[in-house]
Each structure stands twice: as structure tokens, then as C-alpha cells.
Structure 1
Amino acid sequence: MKFKKILGRYIIRYFIAFLIIYISNILITNVAQNNIRNYILEKIRAENQEGLGAIENMVSKMELIDSMLLLDPEFSSLIFKKQLERSDVLNLAALNQKDKDIKNLVDFIPFFFSISKNNEMFVSTDQCSMNFDWYYPRMLYAEKSGTDLSNSVLFKEYLFKQYTNGNFYIELDKISFVINNKNKVIEHPVLYLENSNLMRGLHIYLTCFVIDPNDIVESIISKDLNATEFLTLINKNSNEPLLSYGNTPENILSDTTPTPWNQSYNGTYIVRNESNEYILISGLSASYVEKQMQQVHFILNIYLIGGILLVLFLSFILGFKNYKNIENVMMVLPSADLFKLKKERNEFQYVRQNIEYLKQKDCDNLIKINELITRNKGILLEHFLLNGVSSPTELQRFAHNFGREPEFFCVAIVRIEEIGEQISDLAILSLLEMFENEYNNTYFHTHSGISDELFLIELAANDVPNVESVKKFFQDAIDELIDQYDLVLHVAISSIGTNLKNINQCYEQARQIVELQNLDENVSRVVSYSIESNASYQNPVNIEFINRFYNLLKTGQLQELYVMLSKIANFYHRWPYQYELQKEQVYFSLKNIFYSTWLQIDEQHIESPFFKQIFYKDISCDDLIEQFKKECKELTEFLNKKRKSKNIELKEKIIEYINCNYNDYNLSAYSASKDMGITEKYLYTFLKEQTGITFAAYLMDVRLEHAKYLLRTTNYNNAQIAELTGFGSENTMYRNFKRYIGMTPKKYKETFE
């Protein structure tokens, strides 16, 4: 093997790796180009959508203008007359001035006019006339291919017929009109016909708005006019095109399925926008999109060229760097001679051979080091057991040597009666093997004195309540060792320790027990220290806890309940042996609290499975707490649902009360709240929150609706209706009717006669 071959191999490896990454980046750049192109198209779509919104806003304003005209008394009186009189000239002039004022407030309509089906009235933003037959076609004229619009009668018949058939948008070939003493001609205009909903379907007049299609096109298409090749606006209701720009292909217009903007048609991107009333189809020039992408293409080309140069550069630099590293390693290995290097197939086999040699050479040293560490740990453990851990330095040394500081532990002493050194060693080895299988790495062991084996056993949280599990393990182990080796063993187990500073006290407890066992040398036994003599049992579920928990349950404060239950769990996680002693008491204390609470709010719930289940003695602390958390959630959800149901009932009760007593002139929020047994302030706040309006406003709406109904369906005079609807007097009803309805009761009644 030559070093040049190693260098070439490293360069090739890095080149292949970087080339794969480079190819992946090429794919990413293609995705980036598509995303940028999609962004440009999406921007055009957003501009078109904004234009559609402007059109709908324009239509809303035209409807508002028509409603304003209809509410005008002069306009209403003129459209219903069969024959105009000379005295109506002033009304026409006033209407003409109002149209001019309205025209000055808006800038989207060049011209609009109103005509009546009953007479020859004509009012526009520039002129008015009592003789529309003379005015058309001298001052106003329209043309449409295939339709005769040569005189006023035909023109009016055509407009009213189109509106009756539901065609509110009419496309004409041309319209000419006089505005500001000048004749203006608009090619291919759109007439928008409006008749207010207040007429209840009576088509006796029309307000016609002349719309220049060029203005609409400019408000929709992109600011760069060269970007849009064609555009068509379609009315959804009639499915007829309202205006067109350019030549829109027929197959695109006939296709009703939405076309994604990322599809192209003959080099043109199709953009389709929809609103509640309109469909907009436009074609975006592909050359315009690619022009926007020129800078992106330039940057990506620079990136690709720079990328391939970077691949070559990094391949050489990193390959050479790794070659130097492996060369330095091979040259310092114990058997690194060139003759042997040439015989190896690659550098890794050579390095592996030398590493195996070093491992074999150091094996004996590692065994000796491990034996020394084990012996030192035994000496240190014996020191701690005899003297305790009294300083922070000793705590750090314990954690450093034994890996951790046990939270719960006990000390055990095993004393074997002398029956031969070899048998004793075999018995200890068997015992240690049993320990390894049972406790794995959760114990520490050392030899002390002549025949004592000391064990520091780390206990898990579930084993903490007592040392019965440890005692059972030793009893089983002694039985097996006695059968196998026929010897006598004395085992002493201390109480549970929770602080390494008191580890010597645990050792002293075990030592005293094993000394007492020596009085009966021929009997093997296992004896443990009683934990009850040192344990402190403080139950966290006391009277104060029960009272607070009960109050939180009644008020449905779920998060506070969770906090209290979590505190119990944390307490017993720290003192798990106390949990074993107190868990039954805690379980029934909490269960009784829930029973009392459910008994007050829903007696049927006490028959639920929660109250019928029995207490399991092996239930863990986490399972017990989780069980009560679920019950807390169920109870609070029930309380919240009950409160919401009461709110709905109160709202219906208030509305029913108003509908039954609206005809009482003295009805007020005070009297209603008194009759319903709630405060006036609460009634006001609750009704405003539920309906969005005050009590007085809601009462006024009810009275006005009943007054309108009586005006439409009966011949009662205003005084009688005012008495029946709770207004009290005719003047009060007149004033409120005029204020909220916008007209007098008399005019309102006349519209339905």
C-alpha cells in the first residue's frame, strides 16, 4: 500500500459525498424556482381578488344610492303617479340636484338615471325631464345588436323586461348621453339595473347605472398591463360575461371546473378568482413571469457554478486533512514499518492490527487496575459504614466512587460460621450472584472482619415502606445456601435510611442484631430492625386540606384541585413508605368529599361506577391521584354545563316576558327585574351580554315590529295602535317610528295599500 493511493481514495470519497449533496441542492433550487414563480402568480391572483372586492363594493354603493333615492319623499311621490303635472317640476329639479350631490360623493360611476314605468319621468346626474319620450333619443341614446332601442318606449320596455327576468347587468354596444353640456359616448358599456327591496317586488321604477368597462378592467388587471393577455368577468347568477378584455378562449369559458393558476394554456397562465357574485378568469403572460424570474435565474446559476467549484475544493482539502491524520496515526503505532504497511490491503486493517496488539498487551494491566479499584471501594464503603458521611467532601467522594447517592437504603450484615475457608468463599460467591440477579447494580458490598459481609442496598420507591422484600430475598437465599453447603448464616437488616450522614446508625442497628443472633450459633435466621420505632407519620390529608378541597370542588376550580392533588403525590413520592401506611385512609377521605359534593348537585351520580368500585391495596400513588383527577374534571365539567343551561333558560324567560308584556306602557327594566326576582343591574348586564342590545332597545324593537304588523294588516288608527303596542300616545309612536323606521306610520301604511 502506498500513501499516494490513500490520499487519492480519500479525495474520491469526499468528492462522491459532496457530489450527492450538490445534486440534491440542484433539486432544491428547482423547487425554489417553482415556489418563486408560484409567489408571482399568487400575487397577481391577490390583485385580481382585490379588484373583485372593489366591484362588489361598487355594487353595494349603487344599491345604497337607489335606497337613498327611494326613501326621498319627492322621488316616492313621482314614481307612483300615472301622469306628471307642472307642479312636479320643482320635485324633479330637487331630485336632479340630489343626484348631482350624490355623483360628487362617488367617483366610480360616470352617469346614472332613474325612470318610472307609470309616467315619463327622467332624472339623472345632469338633467331631468317630464317628457322622457322627447328626451330619448335626443339627449340619451343606446344601441344593442339584435334589439330595437330606437325610441323611449322600446328602451323602457327592454330595461323593465330584463330586470323582471332577473338580468340586472345589461351589456350594450354603445350608449351616448349629455353630461356637463357635452355629449359623451361609451363603447360596450354595462348597465346595472336596481330596484330597491323596499318595493316588495313592485317593478314600477328603475335606477340605471352606466359602467365604463375600461374603468373596471383597470381596477382588476395587474398594474403592468402587458402582463395580462385576456380577462373575462362573469356574473354567477346569470352565468353570462359582464365584460371582456382581450380574447378569452371559448374552451376556458365553458369549463366550469376551477383551473389551478400553475397550469398554462398556449404559453399563458390561467388565473381564476371567485367571489359571492362574480367569477374572474384572466390569462397571465408566461413571458412576463419569466421576466420577473431573470434575477432568480442569475443567482441560481451563480450558485450552481460556485457549488461545483466548492465541491472540488472541499474534496481536496478534507481528503488531504484526513489522509494526514491517518498517516500520523500509522506512523506512531508500535509496529509501523513500511514493509509491513505495503502488505496490508488498506490503512484500516493496519490500524486494527495494531490496536488489537495494544489491547492484548494492556489486558493484564486493566485487570489489576479493576481489582485495585474494587478493593479501594470496599475499604471506603467500610469506612463510611463505620463512621458515617459527615462532610460535603465525603458526600462528593461517595458519589464519585459509587456513581450516585442513594435516596433510600438499608444496611445488611451476613455472618457465616467458620466451617472452612473454601466453603465460605463459595457461599459468598453464590450469594453475590443472587444479589446481582435480584438487585443488579443497586447494591454495594465489602468484606469486614473475619466472617462478616457488609451490604449497602439501594431501595426503589415502591420498596421503601419496609424492608420485607429485602428480608424475603435473604430468607430465600439462606435456604438455598444451607441446602447446598450445609452452613449456618446470621443475617441482620437495618431500618430504612434516607440520609447518608446517618448511614453508620443503620450499620449499628444491623451490627447489634447480628451480635444478638450469635447467642444461638447453631440456628440460621434473618432479622430486620423495626421501622415503626423511627418513622414519623404525618398525613397530608388533614382537616384543613379536606375543607379547602371541598370548597374548591363546589366552585369548580379545576386547576386549584389539580395543584392540591399534585402536592399529595409529591409528598408520597418523597415518603413512599408512608403512602403504603396511609393510602387507604387517603382514598376514602377523598372519596367521601366527592360523595358529599355530588350529593348536593346531582344525587343520581352517586350510583356511578366510581362510587361502587372497591379499594385495591396494591394501587400505586400515581394511579390513585390520576383517578381522583379524572373525577375532578368530570365534576367541574358538570358544574360548567349546569351554569350554561341556567343562562339559556333565563334568556328565554326574559324574552318571553317582554313578548307577553310589551303592550304595558309602564313596562321597564325595573318592573321586569322585580317580577322575575333578579336585580335591575343584573337584568341589564345579562340581556346586553346575550343579545348585544339593552333592555330598552330590545323592548323598542318588539313594539315597532308589532306596530308595523298592525299597520299592514288592520285599519286601526295610530292612536289605537299606539295603545295596543305600549307606546302610550300617538306622538310617542310617531316620533319613534320616524326615528327607527325612517318614515311616518302613514307613509309606511301607504306602501302596502
Structure 2
Amino acid sequence: MKKFSSVFRSFLVSYIVILIIPSIAGYISYRSSISVTQKLSIENSVIQLQKSKELLERRMAEVEGFTRQLAINPDLNVLMNEKSNGEQTNVYGIWKILRSVLTFGQTNDFLQQFYIYLGNYNVILTPGSAYVRPEHFYDSFRYEDQSLAEWKQSILGKTHRSEIMPLRNFNNKGTMTSVVTYMQSFPLDSFSGSSPAVAVVMIDEKTITNLLTGITDKYGGWTQISDVSGRTIASLGTGVPDMKVLAKDTTFDASKTSQFYNDDLVITIHSDTNGWVYRSGIPRHALLEYANQIKFMTWTFTGIAIVVGLLVGLLLAYRNSVPIHKLVSVVKEQFGKVETTERNEYDFLHGNIAEMIRSSNQLESELRRQLPLIRDAFLKRLLSGELQSREEIFAAASQANTGIYGHSGYVCILHVQGYTGMDSVEVLNELHAARLLLKQALLDIAGFTLTTDWGADRIVIVFASKEAETGNTLGRSEIAGLLEQLSRHAFNEYRISFTAAFGAAFQSETEVNVSYEQAKQTLDHALHADRKGVVWFEETRLESATYYYPLDMELRLIGTIRAGESEEARRIVHSVLALNTEQRELSVEMWQQLVGELKGTLLKLLDQKTFMESGLFEQLKDRIIAIHATDKRSFQTEIEDIAGVMCSVVISRKNDSHTRIVEQIKDYISEYFSDSDLTLYRVAEKVERPEKYISQLFKEVTGTNLSDYLEQVRMEHAIALLRENRYTVDEISSRVGYNSSHSFRRAFKRVTGLSPSSYRQTTEE
């Protein structure tokens, strides 16, 4: 152990430090857990009490709403305004009132027991019964601490405006209970003296306390409700302190929502509606039950972990110090170096081995980084025909650590649709993302990645199989099915569509470039014919080679005119004629065919809706048909002039089309602005255009961002709803398309400078 003592001590100290650090972190975590657990328990209790308060206030609001409905009841108003004529009573009117109030107690348990007193008839009406003398009602229903005269004077003989009498003992047909009494005189504008009628609702304490059981059922303790004067409205549980003593205690802060008082957590909530105070007391031991469990488990497992960690540290320190010493000995023998007294074993090993490892890692990292580029370069060389022999192909494939996975197959070019003529940084970024998504989807579906980018909107794929080894080649139907699956996935997930062009089948690695060239011809034909989906080389027709007017040049001319670029269209026409007149000597028949091809190109463009709906259709058609090929210079001038006129028509129609698209976007937003899921993606899907395209287009035409316009529409409707004053702010936020009222309030204030509530108040004033 002596010769290993230095390394051994180093390991042991390290393990002890490693053991101490998580122990400290565990202790901090434990303290945080205790604090968070306590905080969550308090927050949950506050929320529970808040919910009970809100529920009780809603029920009391329903009671008040009941009295408001009675106030506008025409039958009650008739009875109140009738003058008593001796012993005659409006029996029919009383019967109608009894019938109309009969159902209220069935829908709200706070309205189980109420009565209406008519002063002119001296009659008390209850659901299903009428007492022609108040004394009869008092015999069955009375407050224990109140005589008949006091009852008549304080309740029947006074005017009440939404008055609530606190908890009092009540005799209900011989059954003792406690009730909270709500009183409202009629008509509602009664202010002094006696009123024609009064409605009295008696709410049983048990009915109220049923709404407060959430906290007491979970933790025990007590819950109490008192009015602004400190009188008890309802009380539940055991150990309720004297509120008057509590209010005088200087250690108790009545303004705090939660605080510990004696051995209880006291939660206090004040009602802004009626001034009631809701208090709940939770025993400390019940509140911290889960925290104490965490405490016990934490200390138990921490102690066990420390003891086991020390034993394991001793063992590992010894085991790890032995190989270090042996490695130092090997390095001394191999490199002939001796560590100095100033350097420890680790410094010695680092000085002799670190540089060698670093160099090796750098080399390996560089090779890995270059490998994808080497593979891509190999495939591009194979497609372009640079690799002539099979040996050369095999050598290059071995260097790139790849191959084409077979000897026969097809070369395919995927052309991403929808971006022709659109050149911008955003579009190029979208095309780059589209290529990556297509290649990843192909990898997930087909299980291979023999692809390379060729241009901004094209991907070249080599489908190959080892026919000689497996006896089963990758067939056209299988490839078509694979691409169909890829097309559905790309469109459904990312709204990417493409055209797939195939060359003829190759039977050897040396024929791959031939299939690729044929695939390019196939793609040119597909784009020229505006074909979608999968197009095979056998389905295309090869152009004549006697004059030079390739398909890609025709497509460039068509695309240029479609884009309205007059100067570029003239340049292409000039280039085509220059190549066929200056660099070639065409016969009369070939010249006539070339003229026919150019005229055909213009006529094909003329068949499009853009030109057919313009007023120049017939004029342009006649000019194109009337072109003569006798004078080459005049022919070129006429073709260029016609192309320029067509470009001007396109520019005019494009401006109109842009306006129509913007109007379509506005109509769609006007219809669905209330949908919180309305996004740029959905708008783009509606107008069938890319998201970047419609965003830029809307900004160019209107001068406003699409998101700002949507917010403006929502704010206009929100303002209209606020003026109507029929909905709450939360309801309005939902109706104008916001997921949360907070987001709506923030947006409304940003746009108008006022909060919704302030705006509504200003409008009302």
C-alpha cells in the first residue's frame, strides 16, 4: 500500500468529495422540497377556500336574483298595489303567486325555505301554502330569541335592502336549527318606513357549511364565515377561536392571506362583494404531514447512502490506483522517461500520452466530418459520368465507404413543386428545409439514403438492387408505391408536393449516368407538359436534334413570361435565334419547324386563363398566327414584341390576382377570427399558397403584417362587444379568439391604450 499511497489518497479524497457534493445538494433539495410542499399545501388550501367563497357568493347571488325576479313579477306588483277591502282577498292573485314561486326551491337548496309577506293583506306566502295571519306562520317557524311582536317589527314591519341577518337559532316546526336570513323589501326602491311587501329567505347553516367541507375533510380543523361586523354567518369544525379575541391579538395580522397562529395555519379571505370574512384553520401537523414523511425518508436514505458510499470509495480507490501505477511503469519502459519530483503520476501520463491521443482524435473527427461530403461527391461523380470503369467506381465507393447497393435499377429526380420563379433568401431556406424533410422521410420509409441535392429544388435518388445475388430486382411498381407513400407523407405532414422523373433502367454501375441524363430529359418533358406524380422515361418523346430549342430553354421562356419579366424574355428569344442562325445553318424545313415551335410556345402560353380573360387575347392570337418566317430579323422583332406585350398582361393580371388573394384572406379572417386556432398555416391552406408567400404578399399589398391585421379585426369585434355590455371580459376574450383572458387584456391595452374594463367604463360614462 505504501507505493500506491499517493494515488490511493488522491482517489479516496476525490470519492469523498464526490460523495459530499450530492449530499449537500440533497440537503438543499430536501429543504427546498419541504418548503415547496408546505407552500403547495398552503396554496391548495387557499384555493379550496377561495372556491368555497366563490360558490357561496354565486349561491347568494342566485338568492338575490330570485328577489329581483319577484320584484318584476306582474302578479306580485298587482297584489302589492291593491287596497285591502275588509275581509275580501284576491284569492286568484295569491294562487298565481304561489304557483309561480313553487319551483324555485327545487333548483336551489338555498331557496328551500322562504316566504313573502304582503302588508296590505297581512298574508304570508310560502311555496305551496298561504298564511292569512302571520301569527299562524310564527307558531311553526320562529327565531328562538325573538318574540312575535319583535319579529313583526324587525322583519315584517321594516324596509330591507338586500339585508343579511347573521346566524340565529331557529325553530322549524319543533326542530331546532340555525339559519342565515336574507331580506328584501318590495318595491326595490323602498327606502324608509314600511314597504308593501318583503321577501325573507332562511338559509340553513348546514346548507352553507356543506360548501365549506373541502378543507376540513382533508386536514380537519375549522372554517368560519363572519360579516363585516364580526357576527358569525356559518361555522364548521372544532376548535374555532373567538374571533373578537383574535381580532384584538397583536400577533395576528388580519390583512394576511395565510399565517400561523398558535398551532394552526389560519387562512383569511375577504369578499369584495358583501364584505364577509372567510377564515379556515388547519392544524400544523396535518398541513406538514407529507413534509414530515419526506423528511424521514430523506434522512434515512441519506445516512445509508453515505455509509455505503464510504465503503465503495475505499474499494474503488484501491482498485483504481493499481492500474494507474502499472500504466506509469509501462510508459517509463516504453518512452524511457522518468517523472520529476515536481510532477505527479497524472501529469506524467498526460505529458507523454495526451498529445498522441489528441492527434488521433482530431484525425478521426476530421475523417468523420468529411465522410458525408465524400459520399455525396462520389454520387455526383457517378451521376455526371466522371467514373469510367467499374474498377474506378468500386475504388471510389470504397473510399467513400458507400456504394449504390446493387448493379441494376433506376435514377430518379425529385422536383419540389410550388417555387418556380420565386428567388429569395426565405424561399431558398424553405427549399433547403423541404429537401432535408424529403430525404429524412425517404430514409424512414425506404431505409436507405442514396440521395444527393442537385440544384435548389431537386433531389437525385438512385434505386438499385443486387439482381445477380438476390435474383429479385427493385421493380417499377414497388418504386412507384414507395414514392406514392412518400408523396402522401410529405404532403400530409409538411404540405410538400413533388414530381418524380425516372430515366431508363441501368444494368450496370457504369450506366448510372446514362439513366441520370434520361431522367433529366424526362423531368424537362414533365415540367413542359405540366405533369405531376411519377413520370417514366419511356413515356416521354425525345426532341429533334436538328435545331437547338431544348425543353429547359422553352420552360425558361415560359416561366419568364409567366413572371412578367419582359427583358429576360427578350434575351431568351434572342439567345434561341442566335444559336440557330449564327451557330447553325438550318435548312428551310428546319427553320420552319423552329418557327413553329416558338409560335407554339407562345400559343401554349396564350391558352392560359391569364391571357384568355384579357382583352388582348384575340389580338395576340392573330399576331402569333400571322408571323412569317421569311425575314429572320423581322421575325425576331415580332416575337420579342409579342413576348413583351404578354409580360405586361401578366404583370397587370398578377396585380389583380394579388388583390383577389388578399381579399380572400380578409374574408376568411372575418369569418373565422373567433377561432383561437386560426394560424398562418390555416390561412395559407385556405388560399392554397405557401405561408411565406402569403405573408409577403399581404404585407406588400396592404402595408400591414397579417398577424397585425388579425389582431386589429379581433380588437374591433371586442370593442363592439364591450359597448353592448352583454358579456364579461373573459367571455369576450373567448368570442374573439383568445385562449386566455390575460392575453386578450394585454393585446387590448397594447392596441387601444386602455384595459377592457376601463374602456367599458369610459363608454358607459
Question: What range is the shorter-chain TM-score in?
Answer: 0.3 to 0.5
TM-score when normalising by structure 2: 0.45
- Which structure exhibits the higher relative contact order, with contacts defined as CA atoms closer than 8 Å and separated by 6 or more residues? 1
* Greater Rg over alpha carbons, structure: 1
